[in-house]
Amino acid sequence: MRREDLVCATVAVLAEAETVLPSWVEEAIRGAAERETSPIARSQFSAILDNIGIASEDGVPLCQDTGLPVFCLEIGRDLSIPPFLEEAIAEGVRRATEEIPLRPNAVDPLTRKNSGDNTGPGMPDIIIDLVPGDSLRITAFPKGAGSENGSFLAMLNPADDPLDFVAREVAKRAGRACAPVFVGVGIGGTFDLAARLAKRALLHMPGSSDLDMALLSEINRIGTGPMGLGGDATALAVRIETALCHTASLPVAVNLQCWANRSSSATVRDDGWSID
């Protein structure tokens, strides 16, 4: 694998993610817009759909919050992992920040000093999955603060009802998280595994199990609506992922994603790269 290929693929997936929504996301928004009955909520959908058109037409970021750089790498088990892996992706982020451009969002958590290029300690955040094959698939999943700030984790009592808890909390937080939202739910595991399950649930969207659908309709029954202004569409999709947990524990994590559920993937091979 050539270093320059991985750098270019990183810039390309960020550029596409920031300006064009995945088609299933846009379809989910259009579907909810058609079903929406509240006039105020319909005005929000109309602006959202105009915005989607303008961003892809003008090639500008959908949202000024271009997010923190989060990537998911699916690494083929037969691939020899290049020594420049993380460093080339960071280089791609710096180049994308300059070229697209992206807003510099990454700051030191204590001094609040901005690194200026969206990279630095811990950034980009790279999630690694091992898969069969000999190629590398890189997915950009830029994460804005509005929906990230609405995310939460709780160590419930095993006697509690985790789905009811999630529905109530999401309804309360979705307005500030730029609803209609996508809801990634992790139930079980340990403290940190629950959070990772929730993040992966977002990456594996949309969900389709009976439980996913039941939780989706429970969230939407509450009526928080687009941007918290009231309406039918509070969430567009839910996916629940679970892991075994300790008999004395019930960890529950929810990673919220705003309507601008941005992602884009590319595959990098020994002899080149292409957008998926």
Binding site for other proteins (CB under 8 A): 40, 43-44, 46-48, 50-51, 54-55, 58, 60-66, 101-105, 114, 145-146, 149, 171-172, 175-178, 221-231, 258-260
Please, which residue, 6 or 63, has the CB nearer to other proteins? 63
Please, which residue, 218 or 241, has the CB nearer to other proteins? 218
**Token digits of residue 34:** 């058609």
Q: Are 138 and 10 in contact (CB under 8 A)?
A: yes
In DSSP notation, 111-144 reads T--B-SSS-BTTBSEEEEEEESSS-EEEEE--B-
Closest CB 229 distance from other proteins, rounded Å:
5
Burial class (CB in 10 A: 0-12, 13-18, 19+), 82: middle
Closest CB 99 distance from other proteins, rounded Å:
10
Please, which residue, 47 or 81, has the CB nearer to other proteins? 47
Closest CB 172 distance from other proteins, rounded Å:
8
Question: What gap in Å lies between CA 97 and CA 116, rounded to an integer?
Answer: 9
* Interstrand relation of 264-269 and 136-140 (parallel, antiparallel or unpaired): antiparallel
Sign (positive/negative) of CA torsion 243, 195, 201, 212? Answer: positive
Closest CB 167 distance from other proteins, rounded Å:
10
Closest CB 77 distance from other proteins, rounded Å:
38
Phi, psi of 186 (to 5 degrees): -115, 125
Please, which residue, 36 or 65, has the CB nearer to other proteins? 65
Please, which residue, 226 or 251, has the CB nearer to other proteins? 226
Please, which residue, 46 or 274, has the CB nearer to other proteins? 46
Closest CB 158 distance from other proteins, rounded Å:
23
Q: Look at phi and psi of residue 106 and say left if phi exceeds 0, alpha if psi is from -120 to 50, else beta.
A: beta
Place of tokens 């083929």: 76
In the beta sheet, which residues pair with residue 138?
A: 73, 266
Place of tokens 């009231």: 230
Please, which residue, 51 or 242, has the CB nearer to other proteins? 51
Closest CB 28 distance from other proteins, rounded Å:
14
